[in-house]
Every structure is written in structure tokens, then in C-alpha cells.
Structure 1
Amino acid sequence: MGETTTAAGLDPLLVELLRIRTSQINGCVFCLRKHRRRPQEGREPTGSPGKRRSVREALLRSRHPLRRPAAVPAKTLIALSSQVEEATTAAGLDPLLVELLRIRTSQINGCSFCLRMHTRDALKKGENPDRIAVLPAWAETGYFSETDRAALRLTEAITRVPDGHVSDEDYNAAAAILTADQVSAIAWLATVMNAFNRVAITSRYPVGS
């Protein structure tokens, strides 16, 4: 990722500030401590104002910034997703549950592109449309097994990390039902799905056109 930001002409100090701000929003103490060094005050960002302005204007016109200079990180994310998929299979997680977790993450983040994609995938794999319909209210229904419910609870906690920092209550509730490998696979699945949601939302991938 460092190579990508450098190739795009981003000031290393700005990169650190973006990391710090993201960690502040999510309340990640570990990352805040890691990036705690203060940038030098008064230092100007690299690149001429005209160049920076033209880059911003181009990105605003295209609204697909993540497809261009970050092509390598995008491929890396896709490769990571494949590895996570293999991990869910190795952990014995039902492929239908995996799709439901992707859908639930995308519902919380409001990612229409990923919602459409994984709803279609779930239906193709044989998922019950009723389970997809009631997914936001899964805790109030009898459609979901004990394993499903534990996985959904953990996925929601990870997706809403600023709200509760994946509380011990949420984590322990999942760990009481799921194996260690399943907890790990679900945590990585939620992490990768949140990343894909942010890529699609930021890039304004077209839906319904």
C-alpha cells in the first residue's frame, strides 16, 4: 500500500494523518499508538497546487479512484478474499451462511453493489428468499440456527466496531458456539467484506443503470 500512495504522489505525512484519523473514528488504540508520531508542523504537501487540483478534479469526474493507481492493492484484496473463502470452507462454515454474512455486512454499510451481488449469489446457491428478507431482524426470527446466530452477531459487532469495539460479550457469545477456526474465518470474512463495501461505495459502482 505504501508503494501505491507514493506512486500517486501523496505526501507521507498526509498518509499518516489519514491512518490516524481512521483509527480515531474506529477507536483503535493499537493503531493510534503505532501512528502516534506527529507530522512536522508547517510542512507543505508535495506536488504543486495546480497538479494536486487537477488530480482532485479528475477523481471527482471519474468517481472510480480505486480502479486506477491502486490496481495492485485491488488485486491483493481479491486474492485475500479467495484465501478467506478457503478458510471458511476449511472451518466447516456453510456456504449459504457465508453469503448471508456478506449480505448482512453490506446491509449495515449500505452498499447497494455488494448487496445485489451477494443476494444473487445466495439465491443461486439455494438460499431461502425468506431468510434474506428477514436478515436485518434475524434475532427476532426462527429461521437461523445457533451457529448462524453466533456468526451474525460476531459479524455485526466487527462491522460496527466504533460502537462497541467488538465487546467481550459479543466475542464470547460467538466463541461459545463456534470453533476457534470458525471465529477466525468469520472475523476475516467480515474484515474483507467491509473493505469491499468501502471500495464499491467510494467508487460509486453503478447499480440499476
Structure 2
Amino acid sequence: MNPRALFLHGAGAWGGQWVIWRRLFEAEGWQVDAPDFEPAAGGLAATRFDDYVAQAVDAVEAAPVDVLVGASLGGLLAVAAMARVAQASRPRALVLVNPLPPAPWIAAVPPFTNSSDVVPWCSEGRFASTQRALPEAGFADQQLAFRHWRDESAAVLHEAHAGLPWSDTGVPTLLIASDADEAIPPAVSGAYAQGIGASLCRVPGGHVAPVMGPSAVRSAQAALAWLAPALSVP
């Protein structure tokens, strides 16, 4: 059976943001799933961090997963999901891309200060904002992102920034960190990786670059190269 990867997107993003990673992983024989997180029944304003964690756990337990990959908020969700997945279904490795860290490292990340119930990244989004978020990406990729950004639950982000406790996942972990990340300071990612005993791979660009920007190919290739020996360990 081909190995399977489950990709978790970040806040305001969508599963299709992993298109470059998907192509590279599938070219190496991987099965890839990259679902969209869905709001709770009461809508985004009623959505909480645990609602997304539950969706991640369900996706992991639906079929065997060899590696769980998460970017930004998705990186924190991946770690939280690992603590709740049944032992028999636990992925064998983690790849975290510019992840929002848990406590105590979150204390050094710029706070989330939005006072509304919903962050209107889609409904009030502007193309200029997308260009600022993806400065190194080509025009076509910027347009793609602009068309697909989603509004996000402010409560989810407040919970994430409040500092969730770290729980040892017990699996090999790779942390990919951008050297010019404007959301998660590179020094924080380095300290996080060291603190949890993760391998650290630094790539150029900003926060979104390793997933959708010019560092995406390099980052996905680095993950594949790291996974080969990591998954060969019994």
C-alpha cells in the first residue's frame, strides 16, 4: 500500500493551498488528503479550536496515515490531534510548516488582537492584502489565493494564541521554518524545534512561502527527503 499523507491548512486557508506539495508527494507514490476545515453548526462565530481538532482526528482515523503535515494554525492542530488519536491510528511522523507553537513558545509570538467574532479575510479581503501575504509568489498564484481565502473564527485564533499545552507526540518531527516569517518569528520556530527535539529545516521567504510561494517546492522536497529515513525506523 502506498504511504498516505494528511495535510492540514492554516487559518483562513483551504486544502487546495497544498497543490504543490500534493503534486510532489503524489509523484513519489504517496496518497494525499488535504481537507477543508468546516465551521461548527452554529457558524464561524460559534466555531472553537476543538471543533477543528475533532475534524483532524476524524480524518486521521478514517484511513491509515503515515505522516501528518500542518501549516501555521494547522501545525498546532496537528499536534493537538496527535494527543487524541487512538494509538492504533497514530501517524508515524509529523511535518510542521511555520507552525503556530503551543505554550510556552507561543508567548514570544505577536498576539492576536482582532475583537470581532469572525475575521473577514474572504468577505472583506482585498487583492492588495494577498499580494502582501504572498510577495514572492507569481501573479497567477496570488490570484488563486485571493479567490480561495476563507473567513475565520476569531475564537479559534484567540484560543490558539492563549497557549495550548504541549503534549509529546512520540513520533519523529520535522519543523520547516521560513527565515523571513512575519507571523512566527524564526527564532521562536528554532526554539520550538529544539524544545521538542524536532529536526529543523530553514527555507527562504515569508510565512506562506513554504506552502504556496517560491519555497514550496524546496520545502516539499525537504520533507520527502526527511521522511524516507524517518519512516524506515521501526
Q: Would you say same fold, with TM above 0.5? A: no
Query: Could you say which TM-score interval applies, normalised by the shorter chain?
Result: under 0.3
Using the size of structure 1 for normalisation, the TM-score is 0.27
| Structure that is richer in helix per residue | 1
Answer 1 or 2: which has greater strand percent.
2
Q: What TM-score do you get using the length of structure 2 for normalisation?
A: 0.25
